[in-house]
Amino acid sequence: MPILAVAVAACGPQLPDPVPVSDPGPLERRLRELATPDEPKLIEFEWRYWGREGRFSGEGGVRVNPPDSVRLDLLGPGWSGVQSAVMLGADVYYLGEQRITLPPPTFMWTMIGAFRPPAGVEPQAARRGERSELTYQLTPRAAVAFHFDGEGRLIEGELRVDGDVVQEIRVEPGSAGDGPGAYRWPREARYRDLRDFHEVRIKVVEIREHEPFERRIFDVAVR
C-alpha cells in the first residue's frame, strides 16, 4: 500500500482518498511559512511523562526568538531544572540530566506547532479534502509524514517503518490569535513512541509577549 495512503490512518471520521499534488514545492513552502513562529514569546506549560523510567510531571517554559531559535526547559518541583532542548534551525541539542526521553529532532519543532521538514529530502504531497499531507521518504524502509488542517495548521506527525507507525505526535492548535494566517501556538502536544513505550505531553498554560531574548539563552553550553 502506498505510504501516502496509510500515513494518516487514525481514529476519527473517515477522510477522503488522497489526491496527489504534482508539484509539492509551493505547498511545502506555504505550510512552512504558516507554521513558523513570527514573534518572540515566553510560553509556560505543564508537562507529563509516562515510560519505562516511571511517571514524572512538572512545569516548563519555552523561549522563542523567531524564526529559528527555541529553548524548551522542563522543570521539576520547586522549578528545579530537569532537562532542556535547544533548537537552532535544523539542529537540536539535548541538555541536562536526560531523565526522560524527549521527542527526536524530527518532532521537537512539532511540539510547538512549527513545521521543519527533513533537510535535503523532496516530499510527496497529497490533499484529503481540506487537509494536506507531506511525506518524506527517509530511507527505503522509513518515512515521516506531516498533516495539516484546512487552515494550514500543523496537527500531526508520524514516523513509519515498514508501513507501521512507530512514533506519532499530535498537536491541538490554539485560538486564532492575530487572525487567519497568523502562527498559532498549540494548546497541547502529545508525543508517543510506540516501540519504546513512552509518552511526553505538554499543555500550554500561558503565552506572554516578550522582547527578543539574549542570545546566550540559546548557547548550548548553558546548563
Written as one letter, the residue type at 149 is D
Count of structural domains within the chain: 1
Spatial distance between the Cα atoms of 56 and 223, rounded to a whole number of angstroms: 21
Within a domain: residue 205?
yes
Question: pLDDT tens digits for 157-170?
Answer: 999 999 999 999 99
Instruction: Look up the CATH number of the domain holding residue 29.
Output: 2.50.20.10
In a domain, 186, yes or no: yes
* 216 domain residue, yes or no: no
8-state DSSP, 77? G
Q: Are 156 and 167 in contact (CB under 8 A)?
A: no
Answer yes or no: is 125 within a domain: yes
Closest to 62 measured CA to CA, from 70, 53, 54, 52: 70
Predicted TM-score (pTM) of the model is 0.86
**Does residue 1 lie in a domain region?**
no
pLDDT at 7: 39
Q: What is the CA radius of gyration of the chain?
A: 17
Taking only the tens place, the pLDDT of each residue in 13-35 is 577 888 999 999 999 999 999 99
- Alpha carbon separation from 170 to 36, 110, 206, 215 (Å, rounded): 17, 9, 20, 30
CB-CB contact of 40 with 66 (8 Å): yes
Which amino acid appears at position 110 of this protein? T
∠ Cα 190 191 196 (to 5°)? 140
Residue 13 lies inside a defined structural domain of this protein: no
Structural domain range at position 107: 18-209
pLDDT value for 78: 56
- Residue 58 belongs to a domain: yes
3-state secondary structure of 79: helix
pLDDT (0 to 100) of residue 100? 82
Taking 50 as the pLDDT cut, the residues of the chain under it are 1-11, 79, 178, 222-223
In a domain? residue 3 = no
